[in-house]
Chain A
């Protein structure tokens, strides 16, 4: 049995998305900028895809820029917003301690270039406090970037409140919604979002394609120079098939959102309930305000990579925020931001579900995982001392 429980890393491409894409490889393969009919066909499709994606977000089609994925959308939004701020002498930026590296490394770069950055705390349950945002905003704040939902612990941030606050204060607001789009209802107008990043492969679309929403009235600067694609803001021949696949996947996710959420949440809650019964286990992130498919636990006394290897031998695909899986000696910055000790953070396990998972698979995880934890604890000197301290 193979159980894919790593949907926050990426998802399987849906049948509808795949079928929508196929003709654009060998039939409508034209360059959308071309004058001839094969090109025009592709151009027409792009217009429709853009319209559809805009609609889903409550945006206008002129506000959607296609990119190569979430990373590019994040890098673009942040580079632009920082530049714009600097031009007005505003060199203070606000973000959180738990952003994806596509955002976090941009801020670290900007700090080196002379910007001052406030990294908002997320406290024990992984959620930003709105009063902290209010207190952090200054006269010289150029923009605020807070992710919609976290990729590791799944926590959902109070985006509408932050958006409202930023709009009132006249500060630009960007959100990395890569983990949220297709899973949570989002309306950029209602939530006062100025810029938003999304990525197709997190909602059963293809990899390597995403979009940046940028509100009308904000003079977005070009990111890639060359041809006149994307209203002259992002040169490079459009990934037509990918964009078609993204639109089809989003179409389906949006249509089935309520139904999927119900199914996935039920599986998530059962997993959380059962894994809470494992002694010395800690659920990471808020119990309710989290993505429908996100389960993230620390199991004290064991290390994450060992857990992943043993799970993999049982056919269960998961991920961890341990140092050994990050390629550095430190465990994930997200888990550390929750205030977890290093040793505990090393024992983290992330299981992320989608509507493609089944209750049977959840049964299987519930059966196998505690055995693996037990096995690793039996050979762990850390577990030995935890038990000793208890006696």
Chain B
């Protein structure tokens, strides 16, 4: 299996690693049974993500997709971030091996879980994108059907 240079760069020098103690929102997805857990912390000012950090338990691709996802959403508005797809993460990383696509799905879901957390805390109704995992990758064992 071969990772792209971008993946290796984000794995060996992950951006935005850490925690935000007074985060406005936290999203956690995956489970340790399947081998990947991502936790994303957000600082949100009005509509804008002003800071983001992540913690990840997982393989090289899991770390790299978390890192890239945080880069893609930093400084963006919530509306923009809601449009983030796992495809965008894959493209930004110059591709992922097929067996690792689920890591990018997890990264997208971690971001969305964090925004959902923010909306819940602020009594904002959840939009369609946020009504939970589509279970499409099957990676987390939380398949909907």
Contacts and interface: CB of A to CB of B under 8 A. Distances in A.
Interface of A: 301-306, 309-310, 313, 322-324, 327, 329, 331, 342-343, 346, 378-384
A309 B32 contact: no
A302 B57 contact: yes
Contacts of B52: none
Interface in B73-127: 99-100
Contact of A381 (B28, B60, B139): B28
B17 interface: yes
A214 B59 CA distance: 43
Contact of A329 (B11, B34, B56): B34
Nearest to A331: B35
Interface string B47-76: 000000011111111110000000000000
Contacts of B28: 381
Nearest to A325: B59
A301 B37 CA distance: 11
A379 B63 contact: yes
A383 B32 CA distance: 11
B60 A342 contact: no
Interface residues of B, number: 29
Given A301-B57, A381-B55, 19 more contacts: A303-B36, A305-B60, A306-B62, A306-B63, A323-B34, A324-B59, A324-B60, A329-B35, A329-B138, A331-B35, A342-B33, A342-B34, A346-B35, A379-B18, A380-B37, A380-B55, A381-B28, A381-B38, A384-B55
A380 B56 contact: yes
B43 interface: no
B39 A381 contact: yes
B12 interface: yes
A322 B57 contact: no
Given A329-B139, A342-B32, A306 B39 contact: no
A323 B35 CA distance: 7
A306 B11 contact: yes
Given A303-B62, A306-B11, A306-B63, A379 B55 contact: yes
Contact of B56 (A322, A324, A327, A379): A379
B57 A380 contact: yes
A21 B36 CA distance: 46
Contact of B59 (A305, A383, A384): A305
Given A306-B11, A313-B12, A329-B139, A343 B33 contact: yes
Nearest to A310: B12
A141 to B, nearest CB: 35
Nearest to B3: A309
19 contacts: A302-B57, A305-B60, A306-B59, A306-B60, A306-B63, A309-B8, A309-B12, A322-B35, A323-B35, A324-B58, A329-B35, A342-B32, A379-B18, A380-B37, A381-B37, A381-B38, A381-B55, A381-B57, A382-B32
Nearest to B34: A329
A284 B56 CA distance: 25
A307 B106 CA distance: 20
B97 to A, nearest CB: 10
A185 B114 CA distance: 59
B17 to A, nearest CB: 5
